[in-house]
Amino acid sequence: MTTLLQVNDLQVQFPAAGSGLFSLRPRKVSAVNGASLHLAAGETLGLVGESGCGKSTLARAILHLNPVAGGQVLFDGIDMAQGSQADIARLRHETAMIFQDPYTALNPRQRIGDIIAEVLRVQRKVPEAQVPARVAELLSLVGLRPELAERKPRSLSGGQCQRVGIARALAVEPRLIIADECVAALDVSIQGQIINLLLELRERMNLAMLFITHDLTVVRRLCDRVAVMYLGRIVEEGPVHEVFDAPRHPYTAALIQSIADIDPARRLPEQPLPGEPPSPLHLPTGCAFHPRCTRALPACRESTPPTHSLGTRRHTCVHPEPLS
């Protein structure tokens, strides 16, 4: 499989609150702090982590929607972080995004048909005469009746709106789709439908997907590989089944332990992860996870832990061996 997307040591910084126009030394928050990942064509990578760990920021930086402070984003071998206008234009023609809240992701004043048609027109995907037919085709592809093209988003249900969002993404004919928490705001039954739809579309169109979520059960169902993010860094990455069966990073282990299983006999741990994630404004020294880690050593406080690569797996921790 060829690598479609390669992210190397990506840094994203934002000016911190309180650093205005006239402040001499603006403070910066590092939302993404040296994240690396890769994604092959047709592959689905799950990106998991707590809220605020930088998942969405990473996704937006990959799509060149956030300024990048350092590192590389190689899409098809071209570094988009330093990309020319033509490179960015190509990126826009080959990637698309699906959002968390299906209602706010659609312009409330546009009709469904116009939302999709605008993409086709702006990106010149089909000749003008074929736009209505293509809109109808895309709507049926995501399981919506083409008559809905006349409606406005607010007269549709959340699940229907999310399907429209997916149809809009497919209108681009993308090779990479980034889905940012795209089922988190939906009812559980609708979540299942949308996940099945994504699975089906992935098979049919050989889509690569970066699937951002905090729901590990969704990752297990949908993804080939998983990357676990903590405070702006990828702490563990590998094939879904291997990572779920034998996590190597203590943070991954804690996350997997706290999956609410359907089996009531299995008790959830009392306190899998003590405390809150630290503020990105004051990152802990050394390993960012050490204040909450149950296996932390004195060394974790001082130095950044090494990254161990073992076959298709990779994790960043002082402990090289698998957790028992």
Partner 1 sequence: MSSPSIAIPSRWRLRWNLGDGRLTLYFGLAIVLGWGLLALLAPWVAPYDPLLQNGDLRLMAPSLAHPFGTDNFGRDILSRVIWGARIDLQMALVGVIFPFLLGTCIGAISGYIGGRLDAVCMRLIDIVLAFPFLVLMLAIMAILGPGLGSFYIAMALVGWVSYARLIRSQILILKESDFALAARSLGFSHRRILFGHLMPNALFSSVVFCMSDAVLVLLNGAAVSYLGLGVQPPTAEWGTMVAEGQSFITSAWWICTFPGLAVVTLAMGFSLLADGVAERLGDRS
Which residue is associated with the tokens 């390993």? 287
- Restricting to residues 16-35, which ones interact with partner 1 according to CB under 8 A? 21
Is 151 near partner 1 (CB under 8 A)?
no
Q: How far is the CB of 109 from partner 1 (least distance, A)?
A: 5
Q: Which of 97, 139, 212, 234 binds partner 1 (CB under 8 A)?
A: 97
- Restricting to residues 190-209, which ones interact with partner 1 according to CB under 8 A? none
The site string for partner 1 over 55-94 (x = CB under 8 A, - otherwise) reads: -----x--x-x-----------------------x--xx-
Please choose, out of 118-126, 190-198, 248-256, 282-290, the segment that lies near partner 1 by the rule CB under 8 A: 118-126
Separation of CA 249 from chain center:
20
Which of 125/308 has CB closer to partner 1?
125
Bridge partners of 177, per DSSP, are 96, 209
Is 216 near partner 1 (CB under 8 A)?
no
Report the helix count and the strand count for the chain, using DSSP H and E: 10, 12
Which of 37/97 has CB closer to partner 1?
97
Q: Reduced to 3 states, what is the DSSP secondary structure of residue 153? A: helix
186/182 Cα distance (integer angstroms): 8
256/234 Cα distance (integer angstroms): 16
- Restricting to residues 277-316, which ones interact with partner 1 according to CB under 8 A? none
Is residue 300 within 8 Å of 293, Cβ to Cβ? yes
**105-129 burial, b for 16+ CB within 10 Å, e for fewer?**
bbeeeeebbbbbbebbeeeeebeee
Q: Which of 30, 100, 160, 213 binds partner 1 (CB under 8 A)?
A: 100
Cα dihedral across residues 137, 139, 141, 143: positive or negative: negative
Contacting residues toward partner 1, per CB under 8 A: 21, 60, 63, 65, 89, 92-93, 95-97, 99-101, 104-110, 118-119, 122-123, 165, 168, 172
